[in-house]
């Protein structure tokens, strides 16, 4: 039995493979420090867990749920966007809860991409954009993001490309893996580009609450805050990173009523609504105060300091002005690629960091260190590398 042609060129997800290798090394007696995966090790707020426990014992909460999600969750998302992003959304028609935003990326591609349609995908960027486009039958055209250009699209170069054939553009700010923060001007240029060339802008926004220094000048931003954005853009968001709920699989898609209804035509044929207690607990998470986000960020800032120490020890170069759960760094010239340094760390020191090539050709000379590990583990990684280089 042959697999479907749509799987040609689609390999197993990198982290799926690497986690299996790490598990095998652990089974053989190795003690691996995993600084590669962006899965928060911190728990959600206690009130969120209490809500889940309380709602789970209610016998009325165990049936199939609405494909559009609970009205309580949609209202919570609506208020969250209003409070933090200054974006007004219609909770009835402009919000669609998702079983994680990764699911939403696939739904978006299956809703609008026909065979042969071209989609602009960032390089470096989240690998799922590329694979979802390919699985939907589309063609991937990468646009390079460079440190020289502050990891922003070169709109002039994009405008000279195959804009007549392009149907969609994926963007992601704060950017993963580089940690580049967005500016108001960047968001305005994205909307202008989409409107001018009749391209749907899909903005993936899971890292906007993970900021290096929360202040009046540096607050969470949404692409939908740009006037007229709903005409040409939709936004994916998630509780995975911002609320330490990666395994809960709670995401959202926001946009115009027409766009949401179009995605719902596909989604409603693929899955059902989330377990209601999870939705109600997610609504509780979205009601948390600013103190929650600040305390979370303080932990990551402390860890980031240790990550900088490790990267300095490795001889890597990096920008200290990064957001998100990672630190993106250029490897020393003596290494042909980030893969070489990543393998050296894993096999010599039992420490795993992600090679940048996972995120595209533009990441070949880079590595990414996750902050989803306690300060103590980051310190152990430093000591292990010191022992190797004695």
Contact between 273 and 319 under an 8 Å Cβ cutoff? The reply is: no
Confidence band, pLDDT 50/70/90 cuts, at residue 309: very high
Using pLDDT thresholds of 50, 70 and 90, give the confidence band for residue 12.
Answer: low
Average pLDDT over residues 324-351: 94
Q: What is the 3-state secondary structure (H, E, C) of the chain?
A: CCCCHHHCCCCCCHHHHHHHHHHHHHHCCCCCEECCCCCCCCCCCHHHHHHHHHHHCCHHHCCCCCCCCCHHHHHHHHHHHHHHHCCCCCCCCCEEEECCHHHHHHHHHHHHCCCCCEEEEEECCCHHHHHHHHHCCCEEEEEECCHHHCCCCCHHHHHCCCCCCEEEEEECCCCCCCCCCCCHHHHHHHHHHHHHHCCEEEEECCCCCCCCCCCCCCCCCCHHHCCCHHHCEEEEEECCCCCCCHHHCCEEEECCHHHHHHHHHHHCCCCCCCCHHHHHHHHHHHCCCHHHHHHHHHHHHHHHHHHHHHHHHHCCEECCCCCCCEEEEECCCCCCCHHHHHHHHHHHHCEECEEHHHHCHHHCCEEEEECCCCHHHHHHHHHHHHHHCC
Query: Residue 344 pLDDT > 90, yes or no?
Result: yes
What confidence tens digit (pLDDT) does each residue in 168-184 have?
Answer: 999 999 999 999 999 99
Q: What is the mean pLDDT of residues 311-339?
A: 94
Q: What is the pLDDT of residue 14?
A: 62
Tens digits of per-residue pLDDT, 127-163? 999 999 999 999 999 999 999 999 999 998 888 766 5
**For residues 81 and 63, which has the higher predicted lDDT (pLDDT)?**
81
More confident residue, 162 or 115: 115
Per-residue pLDDT for 310 more than 90? yes
pLDDT value at 7 more than 80 = no
pLDDT value at 60 more than 80: yes
Domains of the chain: 5-43+291-388 (3.90.1150.10), 61-286 (3.40.640.10)
Residues in a beta bridge with 122:
143
> If you average pLDDT over every residue of the chain, what do you get?
92
Share of the chain above pLDDT 70, in %: 95
Find the range with the poorest average confidence among 76-90, 156-170, 230-244.
Answer: 156-170
Band (208; pLDDT cuts 50, 70, 90): very high
- Read off the pLDDT of residues 242-293 as tens digits, 9 standing for 90 and up: 999 999 999 999 999 999 999 999 999 988 889 999 999 999 999 999 999 9
**Is the pLDDT assigned to residue 308 strictly greater than 70?**
yes
pLDDT at 4: 79
Residue 25 has pLDDT above 80, yes or no: no
**Is the pLDDT score of 11 beyond 70?**
no
* pLDDT at residue 266, as a whole number: 94
């Amino acid at each position: 039995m042959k697999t479907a042609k749509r799987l040609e060129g689609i390999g197993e997800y990198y982290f799926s493979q690497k986690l299996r290798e790490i598990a095998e090394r652990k089974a053989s007696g190795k003690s691996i420090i995993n600084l590669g995966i962006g899965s928060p090790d911190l728990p959600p707020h206690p009130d969120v867990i209490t809500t889940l426990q309380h709602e789970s014992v209610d016998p009325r909460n165990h049936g199939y749920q609405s494909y559009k999600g609970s009205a309580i969750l949609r209202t919570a998302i609506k208020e969250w966007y209003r409070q933090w992003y200054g974006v007004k959304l219609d909770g009835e028609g402009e919000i669609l809860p998702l079983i994680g935003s990764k699911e939403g990326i696939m739904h978006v591609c299956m809703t609008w991409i026909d065979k042969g349609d071209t989609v602009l995908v960032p390089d470096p960027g989240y690998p799922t954009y590329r694979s979802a486009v390919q699985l939907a039958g589309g063609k991937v055209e990468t646009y390079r993001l460079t440190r020289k250009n502050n990891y922003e699209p070169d709109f002039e170069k994009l405008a000279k490309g195959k804009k007549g054939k392009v149907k969609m553009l994926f963007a992601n700010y704060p950017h993963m893996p580089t940690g580049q923060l967005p500016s108001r001007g960047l968001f305005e240029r994205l909307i202008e580009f989409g409107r001018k060339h009749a391209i749907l802008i899909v903005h993936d926004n899971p890292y906007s609450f993970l900021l290096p220094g929360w202040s009046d000048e540096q607050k969470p931003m949404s692409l939908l805050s740009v006037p007229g954005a709903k005409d040409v853009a939709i936004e994916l968001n998630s509780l995975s990173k911002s609320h330490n709920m990666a395994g809960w699989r709670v995401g959202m898609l926001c946009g115009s009523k027409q766009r949401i209804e179009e995605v719902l035509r596909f989604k409603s044929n693929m899955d059902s609504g989330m377990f209601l207690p999870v939705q109600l607990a997610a609504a509780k998470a979205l009601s948390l105060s600013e103190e929650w986000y600040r305390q979370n960020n303080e932990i990551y800032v402390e860890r980031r300091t240790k990550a900088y120490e490790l990267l300095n020890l490795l001889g890597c170069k990096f920008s200290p002005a990064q957001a998100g759960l990672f630190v993106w760094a250029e490897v020393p010239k003596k290494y042909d690629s980030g893969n070489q340094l990543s393998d050296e760390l894993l096999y010599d020191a039992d420490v795993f960091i992600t090679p940048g090539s996972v995120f595209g050709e533009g990441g070949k000379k880079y590595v990414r260190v996750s902050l989803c590990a306690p300060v103590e583990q980051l310190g152990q990684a430093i000591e292990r590398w010191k022992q190797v280089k004695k």
